[in-house]
Chains A and B, each alone.
Chain A
Amino acid sequence: MFKKIFFHGLVASVLASIAAIIYNHIYFFATEADFSKVLNPASIIALNVIICLLAVFIYWPLLTWLKRKGEIVFNFMFSIISFACVIIPISITLPLDIQFPELFPGLAVPMVFFPAIAWYTIKPLFTLTQQVT
């Protein structure tokens, strides 16, 4: 079971990273605001992998412990935590040489939701409910 959950997290992190990198490029072309010192492909991939693997290590014990209800609890937790994390890009203080810091939330806030969206998107491919019940 853990192997499946682990791959679920890994694939979700890859999807979220791809989406975030594409969005990063679109945002740069639209605003010409360069935040590459803070958000670049390497940091985007690292963040998404960390978040999705953290999700794996929360999802697996929850599923083991609460069975069916574990998934419900996890989904609520993931959504609530993602929403709460919106505050990070809004309140972060960027290096002073970065121009237009007021445009940073427009780039980073949507990205906060990418791991959760990717996780839920590929969930049907890794359905474990039947195994658990």
Chain B
Amino acid sequence: MKKLVFPFAAIVLIVASAFTLIKSQDWKISDNYSIKFDGGDPSGEFKGLKGTVNFDPDDLASSRFDVSIDVATINTGNGMKNTHAKSAMWFDAEKYPTIKFTSASITKSDAGYEAKGILDMHGVQKEITIPFTFNNNVFTGSFQINRLDYNINTAEPKHGAADFKVDLSVPVSQ
């Protein structure tokens, strides 16, 4: 009987590891997310977040974000500013309807995690690092962005803010 203990334990381990592999790391984005930008004037938020969120804190190497937001959903709280923001002078929502972020690597940091990847906005692709945390199935992050780096209204660098703080809060479920 004792001889069977180790083979049995091995079988249990193999079966358990199979379930570990089955466990999904794909997260579904919940509706109550928020993507807020703050440049003093203007400030606001975006909606229309969609894409793939594949994140496993224990397997960062295979974790990946491939998400986009709909530029036309910009809301500054003022109708006139919204129309202005979507126009060719600023985001040019007709020509560049989405803002995309695709991660290349996700690493652990002191405060949480860091996602390095390409932010594709207004036809310009630039590498950025987004620091974030993941607690209670909510991704929370904050980073700075300069609109001039993405050729957004470069003709008027002093019209409104150039530097924006972006705050993300994305609850997810499996």
Which of chain A's residues have a CB closer than 8 A to the CB of B141? Answer: none
- Asked if B105 lies at the interface with its beta carbon under 8 angstroms from chain A, I say no
Given the complex of chains A and B, what is the CA–CA distance between A94 and B80 in angstroms? 12
A94 and B44 contact, CB distance less than 8 A: no
* Assembly CA distance A11 to B81 (angstroms): 37
A95 touches B78 (CB 8 A): no
Interface SS of chain B: mixed
Cβ of B82 and Cβ of A101 under 8 Å apart?
yes
Chain B residues near A105: list those with CB within 8 A: 79
Contact B45 A94 (CB under 8 A): no
Decide if B82 touches A102 in the complex (CB within 8 Å): yes
Q: Tell whether B103 is near chain A: CB-to-CB under 8 Å.
A: no
Is the Cβ of B83 less than 8 Å from the Cβ of A101? no
- Evaluate contact between B79 and A101: CB separation under 8 angstroms: yes
Hey, which chain A residues are within 8 Å of B81, CB to CB? 93
Closest B residue to A104 by CB, please name it.
Answer: B79
Is A81 an interface residue when CB atoms closer than 8 A count as contact? no
Interface residues of A in 117-133 (CB under 8 A from B): none
Q: B residues near A, CB below 8 A?
A: 36, 44-45, 75-83
A interface residue numbers (CB < 8 A to B): 90-96, 98, 100-105
Beyond A96-B77, A102-B79, list 4 extra A-B contacts (CB 8 Å): A93-B81, A96-B44, A101-B77, A103-B79
**Interchain Cβ contacts under 8 Å between A and B, 18 examples:** A91-B78, A91-B80, A93-B76, A93-B77, A93-B81, A94-B77, A96-B44, A96-B45, A96-B77, A98-B77, A100-B79, A101-B75, A101-B76, A101-B77, A101-B78, A101-B82, A102-B83, A104-B79
